[in-house]
Amino acid sequence: MTDQGGGSGRGPIDRAREDFFPEAQELVDGLGRDLLAIDENLKTGRNDPELINDVFRAVHTLKGLSGLFGAALMSGLSHELEDVLDELRLGRIELSSEVLDLVFRAVDLYSKLLASERGDLPEPTVEVRALLNALGHITQRGSAAGANPVVQYELDPGLLGVLTEYEEHRLRTNIQSGFRLYKMRVRFSLATIDTALDELKSKTRSHGEIITYLPTGDASDGDTLELEILIASRESIALLKAAIEAHDLQIEEVPRRSSRASSPAMPAPMPPTRAMPSEFPSIPVAGFDVEAHTSMAHVRAPSIAPQSIAPPADRDVSLRSVSQTVRVDIRKLDHLMNIVGELAIVRTAMFEIIEKVRARPGMRDLSAELQRLHRTFERHLGQMQSGILEVRMVPLGQAFDKLARIVRQISREHDKQVNLVITGAETEIDKLIVEELSDPLMHMIRNSIDHAIETREERVQVGKPPVGTIAVNAFQKGNQVVIEVEDDGRGMDLERIATAAIRLGMLTAEEVKELPQREILSLVFRPGFTTRDVATGTSGRGVGMDVVKTNIAKLGGIVDISSEVGIGTKMTITLPITLAIISVLMVEVGGRTYAVPLTSIEEAIAFDEGLVRSFEGREVMTQRGATLPVCRLRKHFGHDTDALSSRRMARRSGFVVIASVGERRIGFVVDRLVGQQDIVIKALGKSLSKVRGFAGATELGDQRVALVLDVAALIEEVLSTSLEMRTLTLGSAS
């Protein structure tokens, strides 16, 4: 039995295990976001206990998931981390950068553990054991709290007896912080208690913290419910009451005990003072925290007869899931995309058959009917293509979330303060491109912190804010996505780059003098280039920026640099939105057909040999007042086998396809324009994967194969070849 995704028969256990990975990854990503928010609060002195609770619950869920699917290392790490977070949220461990660093390390290890469970990486056993030891030391450091400040207040022992451990901790913490305690009574209608209680919480949140609440049992009828709410706040009764503005609201401050009164310790848990009927029905009330209130004793029921509670108007309970989403493996989407690509080939073949039928006399009626069917097929195929592409699109925020953790880690290693500012995280791009973007962006961020951002003292000395800034901005530009990574650091010193290039033997001093600023900056992408004499833990080996350029080029993109000394540096990545189905212009060069992605094409014009001239070692032409480099694809691909054919083709008219990626433009000279077509790119295979200039291949309707041009790589190759030719000319002249 096979599934719809084209895979072999798999049992329900295998499918459930496959679902485990995306669910666990979502939890890990959420953990990272919450920890960054906690870290920001720690820096500013704020405290949000709910964030600690969210992290605790996520780790608890991860522990259950990993245990269910036999991920022993992940389960063990989650168990130890859960203990630390529990001590942290109960106030037995102080929240510090040291503790937070360990939790961040755990999040990074979770990703490695998930990869090892998939079989992509070996198990990080040594790292997990080291972290478990560190977490164990933190747990042992947790000491019991001192004298209980709660006994200073005249609080109902029945209320104290049913507080959860966490609520007791929050009560104690607020008292130690100098907050006042208030008791508030509010009456709600049972029909609207869901929304009314949420609204009350929202109004109270900015003025204090709700410690707990319980029904009083004093409601006058079965249609209302009165709650007694314990609040900690710095504000007066008048301000608190004005801020909440609820009907049937009574509020009073909890008085302190006199100094002569005895100070008993916190009582052991005891039943509420109000009797709870043994057969009291369960009332589902939104707002009661099921995670925090672990026993029925904490949901205190009012002393009213069971029959006085009106049954819900609608007894039909739906078992349908609230969620309207499903997780889909990207490989299944690729499979569907390949099928759509095959259908596109069928569409082209159908069109050619229709043209043949139309050319035959006496078959006009059949030709018209076939054309009508072809148009319908083409419309539905286009809708299918756009639908699959839409499913593949994800926000860039998935990649940006990881950057924040990298910035925190690297800035702490270098003892620098760096803020990461992200805009455009909602910009969407193909899921496969997002995954491949992580490493290039990480290298760029590392490079900025290590090389560009100055130390606190250096920044203050030159009049800059003591905290550095790295801004990441993303936006859509036509059929491309642009990502800008900009810092306010020291900028790139052209002289230092040139000196390093000479020291590494990449260029001579004479060659460097002739290079424009942009090409000197591009030297940082050369393999092995570094301005460091000694390698550090994060840079100096000459592989970081080379990786950036190589990986971006594999995605059909390009990266540019602009920099100003003392002001900062900006790196701009330009990428296609998707690598799946693309629209191309089919062109003919030397009797062979090639596909040029339309996303990179500005326009196509007739070629005039008389407009071509030589400038700085490359052929150029003037187009709308601007100088445009020219690349003759017939010559570049080696289709000019002899001088005679070369002269013959020179006399024939052709076309110039003007393409651009980012700020770089070039004119590709082709023999003929065939037409526009939607294609699915197929990989070239291992034997041809290293051939530069081609993004892949596609099958045509007549069963021929056309190569798809990698415009970004061709532009880079043509311009760099021109640079090398110019430096060789300079070298021979000297």
CB of 224 closer than 8 Å to CB of 169: no
Q: How far apart are CA 716 and CA 230, in angstroms?
A: 67
DSSP at 600 = G
pLDDT digits (tens, 9 = 90+) for 534-576: 445 445 444 467 778 888 887 878 888 899 999 999 999 988 8
Give the residue among 554, 559, 574, 591 at the shortest CA–CA distance from 681.
554
Beta bridge partners, 658, equal 603, 667
DSSP 477-502: ETTEEEEEEEE-SS---HHHHHHHHH
The predicted pLDDT at position 312 comes to 42
Q: What is the mean pLDDT of residues 15-44?
A: 83
Strand order in the sheet with 480-487: 418-423, 468-477, 480-487, 568-576, 558-564
Higher pLDDT among residues 5 and 671, named by residue: 671
Question: Quick one: tokens of 690?
Answer: 């290293």
Kindly list the distances between the CA atom of residue 348 and the CA atoms of 264, 385, 557, 583, 675, in Å, as whole numbers in the listed order: 87, 15, 29, 14, 12
pLDDT band at 469 (very low <50, low <70, confident <90, very high): very high
CB of 49 closer than 8 Å to CB of 56: no
Q: What is the mean pLDDT of residues 191-216?
A: 81
Out of 124-128, 293-297, 363-367, 405-409, pick the least confident. Answer: 293-297
Residue 130 region by backbone torsions, left for phi larger than 0, else alpha for psi between -120 and 50, else beta: alpha
Q: At what angle do helices 72-89 and 49-68 cross, to 10 degrees?
A: 160
**Main-chain dihedrals φ then ψ at residue 163, nearest 5 degrees:** -65, 140
Q: How far apart are CA 401 and CA 178, in angstroms?
A: 36
The predicted pLDDT at position 551 comes to 83
Q: Rounded to 10 degrees, what is the CA torsion of 255, 256, 261, 264?
A: 100
Q: Which CATH architecture has domain 12-141?
A: Up-down Bundle (1.20)
Kindly list the distances between the CA atom of residue 113 and the CA atoms of 13, 80, 87, 211, 408, in Å, as whole numbers in the listed order: 20, 15, 25, 38, 22
Q: How far apart are CA 599 and CA 583, in angstroms?
A: 8
pTM: 0.61
Nearby residues of 419 by Cβ (< 8 Å), 6 or more positions away: 467, 468, 469, 470
On the question of pLDDT at 324 being above 90, the answer is no
On the question of pLDDT at 684 being above 80, the answer is no
Question: Quick one: tokens of 120?
Answer: 């992509």
Q: How far apart are CA 245 and CA 250, in angstroms?
A: 11
Q: How far apart are CA 464 and CA 370, in angstroms?
A: 71
On the question of pLDDT at 452 being above 60, the answer is yes
pLDDT digits (tens, 9 = 90+) for 629-670: 999 998 888 876 554 455 555 555 689 999 987 778 899 999
The predicted pLDDT at position 235 comes to 86
Kindly list the distances between the CA atom of residue 275 and the CA atoms of 127, 163, 215, in Å, as whole numbers in the listed order: 54, 17, 12
Nearby residues of 10 by Cβ (< 8 Å), 6 or more positions away: 3
Q: What is the mean pLDDT of residues 146-155?
A: 69
pLDDT digits (tens, 9 = 90+) for 497-512: 888 888 888 878 887 7
Q: What is the mean pLDDT of residues 320-340?
A: 71
Q: How far apart are CA 4 and CA 458, in angstroms?
A: 61
**How would you write 673-708 as a 3-class SS string?**
EEEEEEEECECCCCCCCCCCCEEEEEECCCCCEEEE
Question: Quick one: tokens of 631?
Answer: 């690349």
Place of tokens 């306010």: 488
Higher pLDDT among residues 644 and 282, named by residue: 644
pLDDT digits (tens, 9 = 90+) for 227-263: 888 888 888 888 888 887 765 678 888 888 765 444 4
Q: What is the mean pLDDT of residues 40-50?
A: 83
Q: How far apart are CA 311 and CA 239, in angstroms?
A: 38
On the question of pLDDT at 697 being above 50, the answer is yes
Does 149-273+285-304 carry CATH code 3.30.70.1110?
yes
Q: What is the mean pLDDT of residues 131-151?
A: 69
Q: Among the CATH numbers 3.30.70.330, 3.30.565.10, 3.40.50.1980, 3.30.70.270, which is that of 396-576?
A: 3.30.565.10
On the question of pLDDT at 9 being above 60, the answer is no
CATH superfamily, region 581-733: SH3 Domains (2.30.30.40)
Q: How far apart are CA 184 and CA 200, in angstroms?
A: 11
